[in-house]
Structure 1
Amino acid sequence: MANYSKKPTVYPASYFNASEDAEMLRAAMKGLGTDEDIIINILTTKSNAQRQEIAKYFSEVLERDLVEDLKGELGGHFEEVVTGLCLEPNVYLCRHLNKSMEGMGTEDLTLIEILCSRNANEIQELVETYENLYGRPLAEHMCSETSGDLRRLLTLIVTGARDKSNEMDRSRAREQAEELYASGEGKLGTEESVFGKILAHENYDQLQAIFDEYKDVSGNTIEQALKHELDGDYLEALLAIVESVQSTPNYFAKRLHEAMSGMGTDDATLIRIIINRSEIDLGNIKEEFERIYDKTLSSYLCQGETTGNYKKALLALIN
């Protein structure tokens, strides 16, 4: 993945006492009414590992399930944020993967965002977590819900086809760039499988070298070539890989903007990215968002359709 100094927005609390926080959360949910401010203040200012300790205290000492208690007291998108914070990161993402494939139709963009923006080791962790949670391989479930070039690409990703090393071979990158050009811009018609094969197999350092060489070979960027030769969800998936290689924060900044633009808000995507990236690089994503759109992520969020405690919780994570 593109090398950059990662800036989280949520850090482990310097003073932390799981029993104190758990008892305060329980008190905030007992009796008539719920103190949402206490819930927000406790859960958005702790790391995920610290939240797991609070949940463990709930289970072992209070003999209650923290997530179920929160679900019983809260509702709507605010509940989604708060309960999402209480799940381990890979469990949280696997639940989104599963939900995107359940029922009628498949949310391909969710699959693409989660699977095409992560390196080989992160994918391996997701694959293991998914099978533990659902008792079936992620690749098997995904193959039954997707088709064509997108299915082939995502299958390569989740079955661990990507090189796990950081080795980069410039001369081979030149050859691969020429192969991509010959499969697309350099001929009549497009060999879609060649793009998927290279972008799903090579490590991120090699891919960056290929993209640099491609511009020299073609005169166009790899993004321009992909948009010219392909379309649909397969194009979205390949672009997600390219953008994640070049700048992961840039990719997620664009996804957040898409989630908040147009008619209505894609709340599931908005919540998922903010929760998942808060302890990784949400600070970098904020910087990219402001650079691209000349507006802070917080101000854009406030002018949209998020309101009340839902907005308050997201802003606490962002800031």
Structure 2
Amino acid sequence: MSTITVPPMLPPVQQDCQALHHAFKGFGCDEKHVIQILAHRNYLQRRELVNAYRSMYGEDLLRRLEKELHGNLEQAVLLWMMEPAERDAVLIRDAMKGLGTKDKTLIEIICSRTPSQLYYIRQAYQTKYHRSLDKDIQSDTSGDYRKLLLAFASGQRPEGPHVDMHLADADARELYRAGEGRVGTDESTFIRVFSTRSAAQLHAAFAAYKHLYKRDIDKAIKRETSGDFEDALRLIVKSATRPGRYFAKVLYDSMKRMGTDDSTLIRVVVTRAEQDMQYIKADFYQKYKKPLESMISGDTSGNYKHFLLSLVGGH
């Protein structure tokens, strides 16, 4: 459910390259023309454009964009032009490098991606940074939170829509016995169930939990866990049940206060535009009674605003 619009009759990729090269010439970059092209090409078309530009001009298009653009627009466009797995690898590395860890970003990327996406992210991380994602997670996190991230990042969960209702019922009962049904919490059971079941299977288990115990699993997690471990478990629940609502809240929170959390706004818009942004927009409107486009328009400006609106299907 992508929100980007691609022209029905695309010009040849060489023509796009020539137009971009012309936009870079002279005093200052013609940012509007760059956006007009890049924001309206899908991932495969952008990759073809990068290869063709290098062939025609002997120059890396991303490095040229880095020279020509500035600020939030530069950050957004550069992320947009990366391959999805490389982009997520960059976001993960940025979340862990330096002093302190941006745990919300780390949790969002690892716990909302599919097993196949995580497989390619791990490869991209190793290729780009010559580092093991597992070892970096190991050194930057701790406790049950670390165990959950490592188990989830391994990408060993099954995918697909198949659901075993008997297993869902058994998992619901086991999660209850590990949490609300005892004194203290058996975190290892939560980690095992959450990291070895497909999203569809987890969705069924959470529905069974509510049917059996008249309580949402999310509320049980809030009562039984805390900190980053709680945040990661709750994001897995939301990703399995209604990811659009989760990302709608992240976007709203990035813009609701004085000043905009641009890094979060950019991250979510760029990473979800070709995934499920239509669903996110619908959930955003349902929850906050305003279009996502209007809130972006009110919180950003200039060509940065123009680029974000182009990605979310605004005008």
Q: TM-score range by the shorter chain?
A: over 0.9
Whether contact under 8 Å (1:173, 1:210) holds in the other structure is yes
Q: Rate the CA distance shift 1:186–1:163 in 2: closer, same or farther, 3 A.
A: same
Unmatched runs of 5 consecutive residues or more in structure 2: none
RMSD (Å) for aligned C-alpha atoms: 1.5
Q: Does 1:271 align with 2:263?
A: no
Aligned position for 1:227:
222
Identity %: 37
2:199 alignment partner in structure 1: 204
Alignment counterpart, residue 255 of structure 1, candidates 226, 235, 250: 250
Aligned to 1:240: 235
* Mapped pair 1:174 → 2:154: no
Equivalent residue number for residue 63 of structure 2: 68
Residue in structure 2 matched with residue 296 of structure 1 by the alignment: 291
Report what 1:4 is aligned to: none
Count of equivalent residues = 312
**1:13–1:47: 8 Å Cα contact kept in structure 2?**
no
1:307 is matched with 301
Counterparts of 1:96-115 in structure 2, within 5 Å, are: 96-115=91-110
TM-score, normalization by structure 1? 0.93
Q: Which amino acid aligns with 2:82?
A: L
Q: What are the Cα deviations for residues 5-63 of structure 1, in whole angstroms up to 9, with x where unaligned?
A: xx211254431321111111111111212211101111111112111222112211111
Q: Deviations over 1:65-110 (max 9, x none)?
A: 2111111121100111122222111111111111111111111111
Q: Give the conservation status (yes or no) of the 8 Å contact 1:130–1:137.
A: yes
Contact in 1 for aligned 2:4/2:310 (Cα 8 Å): no
Residue 2 of structure 2: aligned partner: 8
| Helix, strand or coil at the partner of 1:227 | helix
Unmatched runs of 5 consecutive residues or more in structure 1: 1-6
What is the distance in 2 between the residues matched to 1:164 and 1:81? 30
Structure having greater relative contact order (Cα 8 Å, sep ≥ 6): 1
Per the alignment, in what secondary structure is the counterpart of residue 46 of structure 1? coil
Return the offset for 1:160. Answer: 2.7
- Looking at structure 2, the residues matched to 122 and 294 of structure 1 have their Cα atoms a distance apart, in angstroms, of 32
Query: 1:278-305: CA deviations, max 9, x gaps?
Result: 112211211111011111001111222x
| C-alpha displacement of 1:210 | 0.9
Whole-angstrom CA distance in 2 between matches of 1:197 and 1:316 = 41
Q: 1:93 aligns with which of 59, 82, 88?
A: 88
Q: Which amino acid aligns with 1:236?
A: D
Q: What's the CA shift string for 1:223-280, capped at 9, x where partnerless?
A: 1111111121111111111001112222211221122223432212211211121112
What TM-score, normalized by structure 2, do the two folds share? Answer: 0.94
Show structure 1 runs of 4+ deviating over 3 A: 164-167
Corresponding residue of 2:24: 29
